Amino acid sequence: MIDVAKAAGVSKSTVSLVLRGNTGVKAETVEKVNLAIGELGYVYNRDAAGLRNKESNLVAIVANDLANPYLAQVIIALEGQLEQQGFMPIVVNINESVARQTAMVASLKEHNVAGFFITPAPKTEAAWLQALADASSPVVCLMRDVEGANVPTVMPDNRLGMYLSTRYLIGLGHRRIAFIGGVESISDYQERKQGFMRAMEEAELSVETGDIEPSSTKRQGGKIALNRVLDRAPDITAIVCFTDVVAYGAYTALRERGLTPGKDIAVVGFDDLEDSRLMSPALTTVRVSAEDIALMACERLQQWRENQKVPESALVGVELVIRSSCCSVGK
């Protein structure tokens, strides 16, 4: 199979997909592989391959919270990528529970899954994650990093995204800006907070202790967090939110206080969910491509399986999408 792959100019896994009749391979690629097979006189022994590999085509997607609409977008894109590569995805929800994560992964291992995509629950230990991963069942973390675990992570450039949104608000004249939402014990919260702080420090703007308010990532969390911030600091003129969903909760809190988002207080989200452009006012946010995350994650799974070594992590690019939820100071 390696000889066929070299002759055809494709990967060994692509040759395997063609031999198994996978429909996700391009017609021209199938033609090249079959031509190389004919020239080399290769005969695929399916019985021997089954005895040798005993491979499963199941890949587990361990989701921290399926109620998170952005994660759902990533999983949908991931399922499409895996199916093209001949894998059958299995999705399980751990609901941000380390105990459930441990139990579900142990059960999945009994089914000899070919790999894991995991968005780690808060307080996931590096030693547990690293012990799970090997060449026969690679592990790729999605959206969150676990410090000290030697496994690849695919996630947005969180620092840059929050830096761009905060700097944009500063450019509009805002000087008192709050950061709301997110759970302190997870890596993406810390990274987005660092991006916020960097922009504020570069502009020589002070950040009071009460200007940063963690919360759950639900709408209710955003509503509670914004109310707490404004109770302490009613002179806040702009809010950067951990996610779009947190921003939706902030919209509700503002209206209940008789304030108008985008007019009285500027609001920025993170993720660019489909509903964000339909909000009133349309939400300014940081766009992250779910398709890019899925593609890069699948590439790393395949690299690990093919090269028998841990691939590098990847940062997915971000883009600030400016809509009408941000106003200049005094307008």
pLDDT tens per residue across span 70-111: 999 999 999 999 998 889 999 999 999 999 999 999 999 888
Distances from the Cα of 147 to the Cαs of 37, 120, 123, 152, 172, in angstroms?
Answer: 45, 11, 11, 11, 36
Its CATH class, for the domain covering 56-156+290-317, is alpha beta
Give the whole-angstrom CA distance, residue 185 versus residue 141.
16
CATH number given to 2-44: 1.10.260.40
Residue ranges per structural domain of the chain:
2-44, 56-156+290-317, 158-288
Give the DSSP letter of residue 175: -
Q: Do domains 56-156+290-317 and 158-288 have the same CATH topology?
A: yes
Which residue, 196, 289, 298, 278, is CA-closest to 242?
196
Q: Is the peptide bond before 281 cis (omega within 30 degrees of 0)?
A: yes
What is the H or E stretch that residue 283 is in? none
User: pLDDT, tens digit, for every residue of 200-209?
Assistant: 999 999 999 8
3-class SS of residue 39: helix
Give the whole-angstrom CA distance, residue 162 versus residue 155.
14
Which residue, 132, 74, 68, is CA-closest to 95?
68
Its CATH class, for the domain covering 158-288, is alpha beta
Give the whole-angstrom CA distance, residue 259 versus residue 229.
14
Q: How many CB atoms are closer than 10 A to CB 99?
A: 9
- pLDDT at residue 268 above 70? yes
Give the DSSP letter of residue 188: H
Place of tokens 């003129």: 237
Whether pTM exceeds 0.75: yes
* Residue of 23 and 71 predicted with greater confidence: 71
